[in-house]
């Protein structure tokens, strides 16, 4: 068993999640940021991949008192469980991911993370799972999250994690905010990175909803992922 999984991402009109500088360029409008906060508040856990975790060290918390109170009224902790997927878990022990909260933290990593680093993270209260030698086994990771009570998992990137989850048939829905701007750049990150699909393996999507979200011309698209021909290994 695994949780229901959805990816939320903001991209430019040419499909980029950031500029070639990779410094976290602003994409979302105020309306989209509010939408994302509510999505996060409705999730049991929020997952990010290695580059996001190590380079951005995100808080992954619910930022408004109103939404935190709504979670408490539902019998949930005020913040979702934070989940990191990273080959080498060289996190900053004093950074926001490990300390902003209160929130439970789970880290899925590989045997490339040293025992000393695992001990540091564990001492700080994180649950650390070694799920592979070179690459985290995402099927096992989601099974563990389900056993921990996670039924709805929000994925906030980056592109490599998005692709690996999609390739493994582990994503149910995509929420894509498209901003009315162009970034360009061959090396600028996209929604799905990794090795990519050839044409005959392209992952089919079913359009569920689309709307103009704000006066800036941003569009929100929601897709269902057809996983019947997935599990590409």
Q: What is the CATH number of the domain that holds 109?
A: 3.40.430.10
Q: The tokens of 143 are what?
A: 């099974």
Question: Which are the contacts of 100, defined by CB distance < 8 A and separation ≥ 6?
Answer: 59, 60, 61
- Give a yes or no: residue 144 inside a domain: yes
Range of the domain at 181: 4-225
- Give a yes or no: residue 232 inside a domain: no
β-strand pairing of 152-155 with 45-48: parallel
Domains: count for the chain:
1
pLDDT at 61: 97
Q: What is the pTM of this model?
A: 0.94
pLDDT at 231: 41
Give dist(CA 7, CA 177) in Å, integer. Answer: 11
Mean pLDDT of the chain: 94
β-strand pairing of 205-212 with 219-225: antiparallel
Give dist(CA 205, CA 198) in Å, integer. Answer: 16
Question: Which are the contacts of 13, defined by CB distance < 8 A and separation ≥ 6?
Answer: 178, 179, 180, 181, 182
- Give a yes or no: residue 231 inside a domain: no
| Parts of the chain with a pLDDT under 50 | 229-233
Task: Give whole-number Cα distances, 233 to 5, 157, 197, in Å.
Answer: 18, 20, 12
Report the SS3 class of residue 73.
helix
10 Å Cβ neighbour count for 26? 10
Question: Which are the contacts of 65, defined by CB distance < 8 A and separation ≥ 6?
Answer: none
pLDDT at 228: 61
- Give a yes or no: residue 55 inside a domain: yes
Q: The tokens of 19 are what?
A: 């500029």
Q: Is the Cβ–Cβ distance between 232 and 170 less than 8 Å?
A: no
């Amino acid at each position: 068993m695994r949780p229901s999984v959805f990816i939320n991402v903001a991209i430019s009109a040419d499909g980029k999640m950031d500029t070639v500088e990779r410094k976290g360029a602003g994409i979302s409008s105020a309306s989209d940021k509010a939408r994302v906060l509510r999505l996060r508040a409705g999730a049991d856990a929020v997952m990010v991949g290695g580059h996001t975790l190590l380079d951005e060290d995100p808080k992954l918390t619910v930022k408004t008192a109103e939404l935190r109170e709504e979670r408490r009224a539902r019998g949930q902790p005020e913040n979702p469980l934070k989940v990191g997927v990273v080959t080498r878990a060289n996190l900053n022990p004093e950074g926001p991911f490990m300390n902003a909260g209160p929130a439970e933290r789970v880290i899925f990593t590989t045997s490339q993370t040293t025992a000393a680093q695992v001990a540091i993270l564990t001492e700080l209260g994180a649950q650390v799972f070694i799920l592979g030698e070179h690459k985290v086994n995402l099927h096992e990771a989601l099974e563990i999250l389900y056993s921990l009570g996670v039924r709805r998992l929000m994925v906030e990137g980056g592109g490599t994690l998005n692709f690996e989850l999609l390739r493994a048939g582990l994503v149910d829905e995509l929420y894509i905010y498209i901003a009315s701007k162009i970034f360009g750049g061959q090396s600028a990150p996209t929604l799905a990175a990794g090795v990519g699909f050839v044409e005959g393996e392209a992952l089919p999507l079913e359009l569920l909803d689309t709307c103009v979200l704000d006066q800036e011309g941003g569009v929100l698209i929601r897709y269902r992922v057809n996983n019947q021909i997935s599990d590409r290994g």
